[in-house]
Amino acid sequence: MKVEGIPCDKCPLRSRKLFRDFTDEELRFVKRFKRGELHVEAGATVLVEGDASPHLYTVLDGWAFRHKETADGERQILNFALPGDLIGLQTAIMGRIEHSATALTPLRLCVFERGDVWKIFKNHPQLSFDITWLVSREERMLDRNLLSLGQRHGEQRVAYLVAQLADRAAAAGVGTRHRIAAPLRQHHFADALGMTQVHVSRMVQKLRARSLISWTHEGLNIANWRELCKFADYEPVAARRQRPFI
């Protein structure tokens, strides 16, 4: 875990076409709030349920996931976070966070302070709106995941998650729709989809039999993107559409 400073004008996210351009004024404004950069190693925990951490983060590089546990220790992965995603905003808005977040890969985070969020609201409508956009987007993804868990059975659930992750990764510029480069294991899928790892394995085999994906020790590849989406009932995000980030 180390902290250093890198100027926002050199922010690697800013150069990606996916993210909307900041005006010079916005850039100057948001710069003041960057408290540093946090590097955590794969597997490290960034946020812990119940914390009232003073920080929130934007993912600059790497994959993380949000998760939550029942009283008897069963873990549910709620969603994944990719570059450009904000994590830990709940601490700033609601005072207390009800989920944990863990790094899936080595992670580079841009650090903000909880109290500064209010300054953004106070002084910068457009950026406040962007923050709300990000929360709404998260809500929308959760809606989709809920639909998946509630109404789709195993094979489709796995297919849906594969499609979603590949699509998001491609959009965030950290992969393509044909290959997921993250070190995702079947037990991650299990925890995200509410099924056992053994069953995930069997469902993956079925998807392989349909020639939709291949999952070897080399990684996870999507053999037929179009068909996968159709099978999973997944609707890809509009490409070329810019989105905000902070």
Partner DNA sequence: CGGACTGTTGATCGGTATCAATGCTCGTGG
Partner DNA sequence: CCACGAGCATTGATACCGATCAACAGTCCG
Interacting residues with DNA (CB under 7 A): 153-155, 185-187, 194-199, 201-205, 215, 217
CB closer to DNA, 68 vs 185: 185
Q: Is 48 in the site for its own copies (CB under 8 A)?
A: no
144 binds, among DNA, its own copies, none (CB under 5 to 8 A by kind): its own copies
140 binds, among DNA, its own copies, none (CB under 5 to 8 A by kind): its own copies
Sheet containing 64-69, strands listed edge to edge, beginning at the edge strand earlier in sequence: 45-47, 100-103, 64-69, 75-81
Q: Which of 6, 27, 42, 93 binds its own copies (CB under 8 A)?
A: 93
- Candidates 132, 18, 3; CA nearest to 83 is 18
CB of 3: closest distance to DNA in angstroms? 26
194 is a contact residue toward its own copies (CB under 8 A) = yes
Structure tokens at 106: 């080595």
Q: Does 76 interact with its own copies (rule: CB under 8 A)?
A: yes
Alpha-carbon distances, residue 102 vs 64, 107, 220, 225 (angstroms): 6, 9, 21, 28
d(CA 53, CA 92): 9
**Shortest Cβ 213–DNA spacing (Å):** 11
Q: Is 139 in the site for its own copies (CB under 8 A)?
A: yes
The one of DNA, its own copies, none whose footprint includes residue 196, by CB under 5 to 8 A per kind, is: DNA
d(CA 45, CA 102): 4
Beta carbons of 178 and 165 less than 8 angstroms apart: no
Q: Closest distance between its own copies and the C-beta of residue 100, in Å?
A: 11
Q: What is the smallest separation between the CB atom of 147 and DNA, expressed in angstroms?
A: 14
Among DNA, its own copies, none, the one that 52 touches (CB under a kind-dependent 5 to 8 A) is none
Of 14-22, 108-116, 129-137, 199-207, the segment contacting its own copies by CB under 8 A is 129-137
CA 75 to chain centre: 17
Nearer to DNA, 54 or 194 (CB): 194
DSSP β-bridge partners for residue 101:
47, 66
Across 128-246, the runs of DSSP E, i.e. the strands, are 179-180, 213-216, 219-222
Count of alpha carbons within 13 angstroms of residue 228, beta-carbon side: 29
Place of tokens 């099978």: 231
- Closest C-alpha among 168, 172, 177, 145 to residue 158: 145
137 binds its own copies (CB under 8 A): yes
8 A C-beta contact, residue 88 and residue 55? yes
Which residues here bind its own copies, judged by CB under 8 A?
66, 68-72, 74-76, 78, 89-90, 93-94, 98-99, 118, 121-123, 125-126, 128-129, 131-133, 135-140, 142-147, 149-152, 191-194, 233
